[in-house]
Structure 1
Amino acid sequence: MAPAVLIVGAGPTGLILALILLRNSVSVRIINKEFNHRIGSRGVGIQARTLELYDILDILPGIRKEGEPVKKEGQLNFMAIYKPGETEPVKLVPANWVQAPPDTPHANGLILSQETHERVLREYLQQLVTTVELATELRSFEQFPDHVVAHLIKTDVDGKQHEERTEFSWLIGTDGAHSIVRKQLKFPFLGETRPEQNMAVGDIVIEGLDNRLLHMWEVPPNLLVLRWNHSSSQLFSYAYTGRADEKTLTREEFIEEFHALTGRRDLTFGEAAWMSSYRPNIRMVDRMRDGRVFIAGDAAHCHSPAGAQGLNSSIQDAANLGWKLALVEKSLSPTTLLDTYDEERLRVIAQMLQLTTKLHDKTWANGTFARFQRPSELSMLGVNYAGSSIVLEAAGAGGAESDAYTTAEGGRVQAAYRAPDAPGLVRVGPADAPTRLFDIFCASAHSVLVFGGDAAEYASVADVLARLPKGSTQLVVLLPHGAMSGGNSEVSTGAMVLEDRAGHAYRGYGLDADELTIVVVRPDGVVGAVISAADSVETYFRKIFV
């Protein structure tokens, strides 16, 4: 029997989507037309919001092991700026490391080459007994009311091609900016290309440079930036704007251009691991779904790398779609739930394009690298789904017309925004085991957090959840510090009972222990509802389940 979902493209978007679906017991086949896994650093910045998702998915340890913080604690400088011919920088740009608050444990981003990033994700996929099928290309597909037929071409080691027509319940294109899925759907890719802003990009070993800093030379209109990949290596990624065409530089040509721009011959060049060219494409679709076929990631939007939003936005596409598709595939939710993928993500992507284009334009302003403060929005912690039809928002909330890239105001948790973490919790029971909310949140279930209230109110919420599909929700009762000295006889059976011993949950969520507040957290870590009565819990879940 064929898997339920065919994922076309095995970059981070497709890999994360596969992981989420498999964690939700939905079978997946993921293919890549290339004969080998891609090399090169490409997208390297992993933002705070993505790290939070990885934490909830329990894949953060492998990512952290391979990556490095963008800005390290105690690090004085982040970038060195040089004049041509000089070996000492004329300016050192200070690092902007921030102390992570309890509700945001991953406030500082991570640097990780995309090549390594994808390898780590494939390793987690293998733990779920799934691998990427290489040398397998989607040529076309046909949609039917209850399935999709994919026409695939598989190429063996001898170069012989084998045709295959296989039926799937769903097809998802995560196959990049040149997506065959998007093209066959005939979705317009709206926007612009800027060929006059071509740049050379790649990875090359350079001995003699500090591998804990970015290095920059600027001789208008040309700019060269070198970024470290890892402090254990002398491999640097480069971006060089002094190219008038799309021809990829050879290693020797890059070294020649480097010498001409920097005037430095004191450095030793090693292997060039990957070299390419890049020109800005600023484009997005006006929809991401047609029936049983979806697109996500670069297949749906591409933009300047300024701000390191592309890869992260793509992964958030997968997070948004994954849990919804799983519920529909298991017949727990109506197919109309899938309409909210477009509804929620397009608003965010449109603003992300505005943000990254503005940053890109500042970088290219008058042919110089503008010195500007990078906005805090780049962490993506404020990305929200305000105005979504499946979010139960308080009266007076901003709605869809509000900023999609801003944090909630008022110091209180809000529907449509990220659910904060809270460490210092203790699971009430014989062992009093310590935990935190990010360890409780689940990629395969809604977490219903109950603050304040009494045993009767806990029981009312539990009764509502008992009528929902088994395993689709988990009830978590958060008691203020000192509320229980032992046992949990006052709490309804089936609830996970946590004591907020450090006080971070009530403070971080801005809630009062004397008032009942119910916070519903979706499987993607987004707050679906902030409500004050059990019947409102039922109102929220009527938006989700059949």
Structure 2
Amino acid sequence: MSQPPSVLIAGAGPAGLILAITLLKSGVPVRIINKESTHRIGSRGAGVQARTLELYDMLGFLPEFIKASDTALPMRRMYALPGGSEVVKVLPIAEYVEPTPAAPHPNPVSISQEVHEEILRRYLTELGGEVELGTELRTFKQFPDHVWVHIVKTDSAGVESTEITKVDWLVGTDGVHSVVRKQLGLTFLGETKEEQHVLVGDIVVEEGLDRDFWHYWMPPSSMMVLRPGTKEANGFRIAYTGGPEHWKETVPTRDEFVEEFYRVIGRRDIKFGAMPWVSSFKPSMRMVDKFGVGRVFVAGDAAHCHSPTGGQGLNSSVQDAVNLGWKLALVATGRAPATLLDSYSEERLPVIAEMLKLTTALHEKTVAAVAGGGAGAQDNGAFARGGALSMLGVNARGSGIVLAEAGSAAGAGGAYAEAAGVRAGYRAPDASGLGGAAARLFELFGPAAHTVLVFGGDDDARFTVASAVSRWPRGAVRGVRVLAAGQSAEGRLGGVVEDREGHAYAAYAGGAPEGEIRVVIVRPDGIVGAVGSAEVVDRYRKLIFG
């Protein structure tokens, strides 16, 4: 007999699916519902950044995801108008970054969100989960030790049935118009660009465009972009700003869009097929004042909306889910106090504020380039990506549940800034070329447990670490001794890996006095929780588990 769900997730986009996967991998029963009667179609948020790829690596389904993705970094072609056929400039969207042992997935990939979610649902099913379609959260009421939820299910005939049930925790990943956020009374601070609107969608291009490029036309005060990569063969993604005023309220049919394209661009050699999905939106930049109250939380678009410029929104949603997931798993299984969940808001609020700052600045650059027409578009600063947008610098610096090494600086910059070396609150780098329990460090990291990495030290120091690890709650930690190349060991600490190529010691043990022990505790979300000597294992445990 299956366990009743302890967590109800309302909304089955990437944030909800990743949260469900994270909890199920940690042994927490989950119910995930979606009010729509069918799964969402369309490419929508297609860019997946380097940090999200690392999290998918740790979650265990990256190979399948990469196989379904477009990993080529695109070039954009700018066309002269009128005529729309002459290429006036070819510019890179992002510069290629060479993978390293510490950062094996530094380049973004592109994948239709429809396919993205299909992969996540398959993985969810493998873990025993399932999305309940046509199932809507209407209201809820929370109490100190549970939440009552009012759910309405609609069957294929349109008949509704009501369910009142009790859960331990509720998480709203139910989008920009979130029922959970509104009923929780969270503010949604920011602005909506009422004077702007963007048409987005997918359309098949049967002939006339090279699929190896993104194609840009810049009519006066507008921009038309066709980018390859949808679920359909020969599919392209549409982005059109400055279209007819009435498209703010009603989206065009396929034929209306095609005629608008021919009229504005001035070329009819491009032959279009079906347009399976189209939508229109006004750019909004908003975020909550906190990510939860009591036993109810929000994540993803329910907590923040943004300009799609920069490709940060979907990725931020995934990172919300992973951050909340490991903490909620520890609390839901009784291994950590509920106060641990306070760190979810503490850590994600500055990240999302920084994300909105970055994407809004890019949005304004793009608007200025569009206003400048062809000349304005020659400045690739409005369109180039990479750098901080890879999200490898997204961190939890200053969090109350990270424990920095004595005497170390907190690290420069803000919530998107990378640190020099391994520091508490920043991403834990990978290291390849290992032998023993794993071939890479990312194989050791995962959502169900912390990883205590032990470098160097004598037998007494390592015994102290092993004893401290044994005092952690069952299943919440794995201890791993990292040996220098050629070194052997007796009395292993949970597991042992040999750093045969020296990458792990180069990344993690730099700066530690030779021969002294260095302990690095990596959280389930791949963030370094503590750095120091043997005593940090007990000190950090008390921060998390009380």
TM-score tier (shorter): over 0.9
- What pairs up with 1:143-542 in 2 under 5 angstroms? 143-207=142-206, 208-229=208-229, 233-243=233-243, 244=245, 245-365=248-368, 367-368=371-372, 369=377, 370-372=379-381, 373-395=384-406, 402-409=413-420, 412-427=421-436, 435-484=439-488, 488-489=489-490, 492-509=491-508, 511=510, 512=512, 514-532=515-533, 534-542=534-542
| DSSP-derived class of the 2:255 partner | helix
For 1:140, the equivalent position in structure 2 comes to 139
Indicate which of 46, 49, 60 corresponds to 1:47.
49
Query: Which digits, 9 at most, give the CA deviation of each residue in 1:74-96, with x for residues without a partner?
Result: xxx61111113142411111362
* 2:27 paired residue number: 25
Contact 1:217 1:261 in 2 (8 A): no
Q: Which moved further from structure 2: 448-457 or 286-295?
A: 448-457
Superposed CA deviations along residues 458-493 of structure 1, whole A, max 9, x for unmatched, are 211010011111111111111111223xxx32xx34
Q: Deviations over 1:273-316 (max 9, x none)?
A: 10110110100010111100000000000000011000000000
Name the CA distance, whole Å, in 2 between partners of 1:468 and 1:28: 25
Q: How far apart, in 1, do the equivalents of 2:220 and 2:188 lie?
A: 32
SS in 2 for 1:359: helix
In the alignment, the residues of structure 2 paired with residue 305 and residue 93 of structure 1 have an alpha-carbon distance, to the nearest angstrom, of: 20
The one-letter amino acid paired with 2:430 is D
Partner of 1:78: 75
SS at match of 2:544: coil
**2:139 is the counterpart of 1:121:** no
Supply the distance in 2 between the matched residues of 1:105 and 1:238 (Cα, whole angstroms).
Answer: 31
AA at the equivalent of 1:340:
S
Amino acid at match of 1:49: R
Q: Deviations over 1:383-406 (max 9, x none)?
A: 111100000023566659941111
TM-aligned CA distance change 1:397 to 1:70, over 3 Å: farther
Deviation at 1:199, TM superposition (A): 1.1
Q: Is the 8 A contact 1:217 1:262 kept in 2?
A: yes
Q: Which amino acid in the other structure matches residue 12 of structure 1?
A: P
Superposed CA RMSD: 1.7
The Cα of 1:230 is off from its aligned counterpart by 5.9
8 Å contact from structure 2 (residues 204, 232) kept in 1: no
Structure 1 residues 5-26: Cα deviation after superposition (integer angstroms, max 9, x where no partner): 0000000000000000000000
With 306-315 and 492-501 compared, the bigger mean Cα shift is at: 492-501
Unaligned runs of 5+ in 2: none
1:424-475 C-alpha deviation (Å, 9 max, x unpaired): 0001xxxxx7610011112100000011112222211010011111111111
Task: State the SS of the aligned residue for 2:320.
Answer: helix
CA distance in structure 1 between the aligned counterparts of 2:249 and 2:111, rounded to whole angstroms:
26
Name the aligned partner's letter for residue 290 of structure 2. R
Aligned length: 528
| CA deviation profile, 1:366-386 (whole Å, cap 9, x unmatched) | 624452143500000001111
Asked whether the 8 Å contact 1:390–1:528 carries over to 2, the reply is yes
The alignment partner of 1:355 has SS state of: helix
List runs of 5+ in structure 1 lacking aligned partners.
72-76, 428-432
Q: Deviations over 1:101-160 (max 9, x none)?
A: 111010011101111100100000000121100000011001011000000000112211
CA contact (8 A) 1:211 1:233 kept: no
Report deviation, 1:262: 1.6
| Contact 1:53/1:524 (<8 A) preserved | yes
TM-score normalised to structure 1 length: 0.94
Give the partner amino acid of 2:204: V
Q: Deviations 1:34-87 (Å, cap 9, x if unpaired)?
A: 00000000000000000000000001122112111151xxxxx61111113142
Report the 3-state secondary structure (helix = DSSP H, G, I; strand = E; otherwise coil) of the residue aligned with 2:415.
coil
What corresponds to 1:74 in structure 2? none
Runs of 4+ in 1 over 6 A off after TM superposition: none
